[in-house]
């Protein structure tokens, strides 16, 4: 593939933005360690290129969901890598730190064959989100068993971790309830004889809205990629992803004529349409029909008609192909990102969140990188 030839459909990742955001988060974390969450292939930005940039610009550790992700990230950094979504019976990669969400998981680690180096674990406690983690009535048994296993050299408890449910809603009283429960968990762990030194509960929104949640380590994800985790707030972040396609064709259409399957949309006047090669096989939701569009040459155009597997149609209006900013085949149509609407705005339009929008590009989308992500001043 010729890297200089424009691709029909790309996600363009700005590594300088990743570097900038990492430095901003490291500064916001203050004395707390910065664990960069790079699960789901760095939120669809690519761990191979993003992890080294974060490593150079302030990351102290990395967090992922699965062991497969952990193996990949561990090849890119010498810093700690934590994985927290696994089932008892899975082979635990050597050198990976492990989140422990239940007594069954803890028992598997304790009963596993001895290794030269004890497995480093983070005990996951449920503080009210009811998604994953040890329930409070199980804490005494879990902490006692972990302390015994640590004395026997089977595991090394690094810290206690949990997750906040409402940190993106500043002032929500449930956050204070969770932090109180998290403090109880740490106190009980110490009373059982453990020494959890790296405790963490703060996600991206809590990094900005809740300094008391920083503890010894923060665990942001979304903010690393430049999107705001708290609606209506700005923190000097730079969005790193742009999703764009090349216009395939520009066609005239008469008033009253329809486009795409089901003929669900009719042209309100004589004008032009543009065919763009992206569809639901590439991550555009079929349910997004008539709710989004793309920006071409600085002008936003609405999508019309059914979203197809491979393509969408944009309504250019009466002068879309003949006005001062004509649209032609080969022009770039930005679905979101640099030169177009933000991921936040697209998410709001189609009824989802910016996290899901960043994860949307897939299929035939080709990932491209700009910038070098070099280490900056801190």
For 146, the 3-state DSSP assignment is helix
The answer to whether the annotation marks 54 as part of a ligand binding site is: no
Interatomic CA distance for residues 322 and 334, integer angstroms: 20
In Å, how far are 127, 213, 301, 324 from 236, measured between CA atoms?
31, 21, 28, 34
160 backbone dihedrals φ, ψ, rounded to 5°: -110, 140
In Å, how far are 73, 74, 96, 349 from 62, measured between CA atoms?
8, 9, 10, 32
39 catalytic residue (yes or no):
yes
- DSSP-derived pairing of the beta strands 312-317 and 299-304: antiparallel
Chain mean position to CA 166: 17
Contacts of 4 (CB under 8 A, 6+ apart): none
301 catalytic residue (yes or no):
no
The answer to whether the annotation marks 35 as part of a ligand binding site is: no
244 backbone dihedrals φ, ψ, rounded to 5°: -145, 155
Instruction: State the DSSP string of 68-104.
Output: HHHHHHHTT-SS-EEE----TTSPPPTT-EEEE-SHH
CB 368 within 8 A of CB 10: yes
CB 271 within 8 A of CB 252: yes
For 279, the 3-state DSSP assignment is coil
Which spans in the chain are helix H?
15-29, 39-44, 47-56, 67-74, 103-111, 139-151, 173-191, 204-209, 343-350, 354-359
Catalytic member of 43, 251, 261, 355:
261
* Cα Dmax for the chain: 79
Catalytic member of 39, 272, 301, 355:
39
For 199, the 3-state DSSP assignment is coil
Tokens of 255: 């008033």
Binding site as annotated, residues for substrate: 131, 309
Binding site as annotated, residues: 131, 309
For the annotated catalytic residues, the residue numbers are: 39, 261
């Amino acid at each position: 593939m010729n890297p200089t030839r424009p691709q029909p459909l790309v996600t363009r990742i700005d590594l300088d933005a990743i570097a900038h955001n990492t430095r901003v988060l490291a500064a916001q974390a203050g004395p707390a360690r910065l664990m960069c969450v790079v699960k789901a292939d760095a939120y669809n930005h690519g761990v191979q290129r993003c992890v080294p940039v974060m490593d150079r610009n302030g990351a102290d550790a990395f967090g992922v969901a699965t062991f497969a992700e952990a193996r990949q990230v561990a090849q890119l950094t010498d810093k700690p890598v934590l994985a927290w979504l696994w089932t008892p019976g899975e082979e635990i990669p050597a050198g990976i730190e492990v989140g422990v969400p239940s007594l069954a998981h803890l028992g598997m680690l304790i009963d596993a064959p001895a290794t030269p180096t004890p497995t480093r674990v983070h005990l996951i406690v449920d503080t009210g989100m009811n998604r994953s983690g040890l329930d409070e009535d199980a804490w005494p048994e879990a902490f006692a068993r972990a302390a015994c296993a640590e004395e026997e050299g089977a595991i090394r408890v690094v810290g206690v971790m949990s997750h906040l449910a409402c940190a993106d809603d500043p002032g929500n009283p449930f956050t204070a309830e969770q932090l109180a429960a998290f403090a109880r968990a740490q106190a009980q762990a110490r009373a059982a004889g453990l020494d959890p030194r790296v405790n963490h509960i703060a996600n991206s929104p809590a990094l900005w809205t809740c300094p008391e949640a920083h503890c010894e380590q923060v665990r942001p994800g979304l903010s690393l990629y430049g999107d705001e985790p708290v609606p209506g707030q700005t923190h000097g972040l730079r969005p790193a992803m742009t999703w764009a396609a090349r216009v395939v064709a520009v066609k005239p259409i008469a008033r009253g004529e329809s486009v795409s399957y089901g003929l669900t949309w009719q042209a309100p006047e004589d004008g032009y349409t543009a065919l763009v090669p992206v569809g639901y096989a590439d991550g555009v939701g079929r349910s997004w029909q008539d709710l989004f569009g793309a920006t071409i040459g600085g002008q936003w155009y609405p999508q019309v008609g059914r979203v197809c597997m491979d393509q969408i149609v944009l309504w250019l209006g009466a002068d879309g192909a003949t006005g001062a900013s004509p649209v032609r085949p080969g022009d770039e149509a930005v679905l979101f990102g640099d030169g177009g609407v933000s991921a936040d705005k697209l998410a709001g339009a189609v009824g989802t969140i910016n996290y899901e929008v960043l994860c949307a590009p897939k299929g035939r989308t080709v990932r491209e990188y700009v910038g070098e992500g070099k280490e900056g001043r801190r």
